[in-house]
Amino acid sequence: MSKAISEIMEIVEMRMNKVRGSHDLEHTKRVYTMAVKLAKKEKADLNIVKLSAILHDIARHKEDLSKGRLCHAKVGAETARKILNKAGFKIKVINDVCHCIRTHRFRDNYMPETIEAKVLFDADKLDSIGAIGIGRAFLFAGEVGAALNNKALDIAKTKPYTEEDTAYREYMVKLRYIKDKLFTKTGKKMASDRHSFMKTFFKRFALECASKK
């Protein structure tokens, strides 16, 4: 890590020390490591990818506090711009990083246009599926007070950020579609493997919840 990048990491560590487990600093560090791996394979600009990965969830806690009303990609890009500006980064670098952060979210219409933004998007989504994705889904459900499973409820009528937001709901409405959203060749290949493990787990989970296994 260069001196400039490790200084940004220190700022992020200070700001994210109270963020809850499902989107904590460990998630940011895993995304950083994965993004660097993808960037090398996809020949993306490593400096842009590293800065974007470190800063990508800087505003996540604000979205959690607003119970999903505020978009952490939008606020995060604005916050990152201020941090990078203050640290003296060039405007081109700031603009490129902010594009990556603004477009890394799964649920809005801003699409990644550069290879660096596609790499960040894929690295972030890979952390939402597979064994880690399963773990994070249950962690998040616990954070919002959801049960282990809520089989009496019709998932189509349930709401996110509520006690209805179980890990199984997250899998059914979001996680099972993620592998088809990725952009890079390397990311897609890894997503396919993580997806099949996750699919096996939730299939078995549903059977056990229904006392069929």
Contact 32, 58 (CB under 8 A): no
Q: Is 122 in the site for Fe ion (CB under 5 A)?
A: no
CB of 154 to Fe ion, least distance (A): 28
Residue in 32, 38, 44, 57 binding Fe ion, rule: CB under 5 A: 57
Query: Of 35 and 84, which has the nearer Cβ to Fe ion?
Result: 35
Point out which span in 54-62, 138-146, 159-167, 179-187 binds Fe ion (CB under 5 A). Answer: 54-62
Q: Is position 124 an interface residue for Fe ion (rule: CB under 5 A)?
A: yes
Number of chain positions touching Fe ion (CB under 5 A): 2
The verdict on 96 binding Fe ion (CB under 5 A) reads no
Stretch that binds Fe ion, among 36-44, 55-63, 131-139, 168-176 (CB under 5 A): 55-63
Site residues for Fe ion per CB under 5 A: 57, 124
